[in-house]
A = this chain, B = another copy of it.
Amino acid sequence: MLGDFTYCNPTKLYFGRNALEGLKEELPKYGKNVLLVYGGGSIKKNGIYDKVLALLGECGKTVYEDAGVMPNPTVEKLYEGVQRARDCKADLILAVGGGSVCDYAKAVSVSVNCKEDPWEKYFIKFDDVDDGCKIVPVGCVLTMVGTGSEMNGGSVITNHKQKLKVGHVFGENVFPRFSVLDPEFTFTLPKYQMTAGFFDIMSHILEQYFSGEDDNTSDYIAEGLMRSLIKSSEAALKNPLDYEARSNIMWTATWALNTLIAKGKATDWEVHMLGQAVGAHTDATHGMTLSAVSLAYYRHIMPFGLKKFVRFATNVWGVSAAGKTDETVANEGLAAMEGWMRRIGLVMNISDLGVTEDMLDGIVKSTFINEGGYKVLSPEEVKEILKESM
């Protein structure tokens, strides 16, 4: 059953080999000052930086830069970016990069005209953006696939001192006004980042799928997205220049986390809580923290949501249920997922991400407990799952 909800996703997407041309349509809608936000500089090597700068010039923009956004953007970097956006009186923040760069741009966007400390306000107190607080509009040029940040209001910021990595989901006024999605921009991504992105997508879908007992359309869409992802991820791994596969993955990633498949249903997000806690203690790649804890988590909660795990096995992995117990079918589904995870080369253990036994209690403390999944975890269960993931 679909519960009550509203749906509105105003982000305009330009998709395909000429997507960057969309900037010519979008840039004239904003004022002169553009804050160009990007990461470690790979966009300078692959030519995207030059192309973007040329288009900004063509549209008569004055460009200010905020480079060096790290894979897990820190609160210190956020403060720095807010100051930079204030100093240059940014009319538009243009994020060129992966999900971290987009996330960061949105966090800056809502903080420029915010009088309080943004970390406290948005990531500790989970406050909404104040009425009357002018949001600086954000546009994205995506160079890495996975987070879905290009079409949602999400932003994840890490505070290393507090050992916290926290996500805030802002309302539709903070969604990027436009995003440029050119699958070829993802061709040069190193394999580790690419496969981490694949699992980030899968995890987004699973977090929304493994919750609730009812029959609803959102779960059927989720199953379609997973089947597409499984097929295209293996194809992209064989040939990273496979445009068909890369374009499907890019599109799947967007719909995996742009609010659609959560509509009208409960969601979980406990794998992200576990993964983000691991990330806060190790600074490991986001998608790999999710893959390293997922199997232990899902095997742990399976008895509490058995029917859904059976459905997952049959509808997503094609497991035949004939003559088998529900437990067997459900286990075969998770085994099929494990096989896929190993084939695409994901990190399967948190020890491979630098977690040692003595860090476990700290990670347990950093793990938020959600209540939307099939089992509300106790701290002891969190520790057990982390141990299983070692």
Contact = CB atoms under 8 A, between A and B. Distances in A.
A56 B247 CA distance: 46
A190 interface: no
Contacts of A2: 15-16, 183, 244, 247-248, 251
Given A7-B15, A16-B3, A215 B227 contact: no
Given A2-B251, A9-B9, A215 B231 contact: yes
Contacts of A225: 217, 220-221, 224
Contact of A15 (B4, B220, B221, B231): B4
Interface in A163-204: 183
Contacts of A216: 228, 244, 247-248, 251
Interface string A8-46: 111111111111001000000000000000000000000
Contacts of A264: 15-16, 247, 251
Q: Determine the interface band of chain A, counting residues with CB < 8 A from chain B.
A: 35 or more
A120 to B, nearest CB: 30
Contacts of A263: 15, 251
Contacts of A217: 224-225, 228, 232, 248, 251-252, 255
Q: How many copies does the complex hold?
A: 2
A270 interface: no
Contacts of A183: 2
B17 A12 contact: no
A268 interface: no
A220 B227 contact: yes
Nearest to A226: B220
Contacts of A224: 217, 220-225
A54 interface: no
A87 to B, nearest CB: 32
Contacts of A247: 1-2, 216, 264
A17 B264 CA distance: 12
Give the 5 A-B residue pairs with the shortest CB-CB distance, closest first: A4-B16, A224-B224, A220-B224, A1-B244, A220-B228
Given A2-B251, A6-B22, A223-B227, 8 more contacts: A1-B247, A2-B15, A4-B19, A15-B263, A215-B228, A217-B248, A220-B227, A221-B228
9 contacts: A1-B244, A1-B248, A2-B183, A2-B251, A5-B16, A15-B263, A215-B228, A215-B244, A221-B228
